[in-house]
Amino acid sequence: MRIERCLSRSAQISSSLSGSCGPQSNQQLLSELQPAIEAIKRLLLQPQSGIEADPFLFRELIVYPKLEQPWIIYPEFTDNEVDRLSKLPDDVLLNIVERLDITDVARTAILSRRWKQIPTMLSKIILTVCSFEPKHGRRNLTSHDIVRANTTMLKATRSILESRTGSLYTIHLMSMQFYLGDDSIFIGQTVANTIATQKVASVEFTILTKLGKNCTSGDLLTYGKQFMTFFDSCPNAFGGLAHLWLENLRLGESYFPKKFGICKQLQFLHLWQCDTGHLSLLEVQHPQLRELVISCSSLQRVDLKWVPKLTVVKFNVFISPDDPFSLGYVPLLPTVSIINTGLSEHKMLKLSELLRKTAISNLHLNFKSEKIWVKPEARSNCYRCSTN
């Protein structure tokens, strides 16, 4: 099995990974790690009993450091041969492992003692419930499929995060995707404990519901109540969130600003079919929020009252006949996107009024191929929203 170029270059790879080489050199060196990644994946397909019986299965993966013969394989190694792949520097080995699926990362711990410590050194932990779902599409999942996937997600979360207890390595990104439900409470609490006891730079939550589309008002209310229970069970996890994706929730008007005020680190918020009631108002005030995406909304309007760091606003499909949003204090906002099917009941969008308090440099409008009429406005009215 041909997996990697000479290990004598490991120092060069390590140097590149630390940023001492240029982008092109870095990409070239990292591409040389790909065979090792594939080799580890194939090795992990071996029955566990086989790995335990033969701890030197890595003999198929070893390449000796001979520059003149960069693709050398020594399948005839004896049991006292050194596992040279495991002798790679930590940063190189870690870079290989971080390119595996998280389920494979967890399994590498059984390969040898050297590998047991690797999952505790990961700088990126990305766990998705989709990895544990049957491969026939989300819309075809049964309730049993979802519960089973979420339970497996909880076990994986605990296994990965609790194994890092006492680790001195920073988690630069911890991204979790899971279904709202009983197990989600324990996932949130495990994440909250990790934030409290370890160095975590950025946390992302993508919270799904069992019904992806075609939710009734009753479904939205039910999911909204489940989300409130989940939030109240692990507020410290939300206090460390930088990125939050929610779907199919109906929350009380007073609940939204109160609870999301706890998310002090939040920079990205995506609400898909979420509201505070049919044709209700949503006020947004947040010191750190940089990007807001609202999709398939039944909100009447979103008032961006005070969002000093906001740079991107996207509204994708809304039923309100009025302007989908109003701008308050958003001094850094350059990008606005409005996507909707323009119907006769929708109010005419007057950009000079809608965007009058900011100087937009990137405006995207898409009315789903409906016929639209653009009424010219005086230069004095349009100047500020059309500069640049």
Residue-by-residue pLDDT tens, the chain, 388 positions: 333 333 334 434 444 444 444 544 545 555 655 666 666 656 555 544 333 333 333 333 333 233 333 333 333 333 333 355 666 677 777 777 777 777 677 666 666 666 677 778 888 899 999 988 887 777 788 889 999 999 999 998 998 898 888 888 899 999 999 999 999 999 999 999 999 999 999 999 999 999 888 899 999 999 999 999 999 999 999 999 999 999 999 998 888 888 898 999 999 999 999 999 989 999 999 999 999 999 998 999 999 999 999 999 999 988 888 889 999 999 999 999 999 887 777 777 788 888 887 888 999 988 876 555 666 655 555 444 444 3
Please provide the size of the chain in residues.
388
Give the Cβ contact number of residue 118 at 10 Å: 21
Give residue 374's pLDDT.
63
The pLDDT assigned to 99 comes to 76
CA 154-116-130 angle, to 5 degrees, is 30
Could you give the count of Cα atoms lying within 13 Å of 2 in the half-sphere of its Cβ?
Answer: 6
- The pTM of the full predicted model, rounded to 2 decimals, is 0.76
- Say which amino acid occupies 44: L
Question: Contact at 8 Å (CB) between 96 and 33?
Answer: yes
Decide if 227 contacts 249 (C-beta within 8 A): yes
CA dist 362 and 376 (Å) reads 19
Q: Nearest to residue 206, comparing CAs of 155, 269, 261?
A: 269
Q: How far apart are CA 356 and CA 326, in angstroms?
A: 10
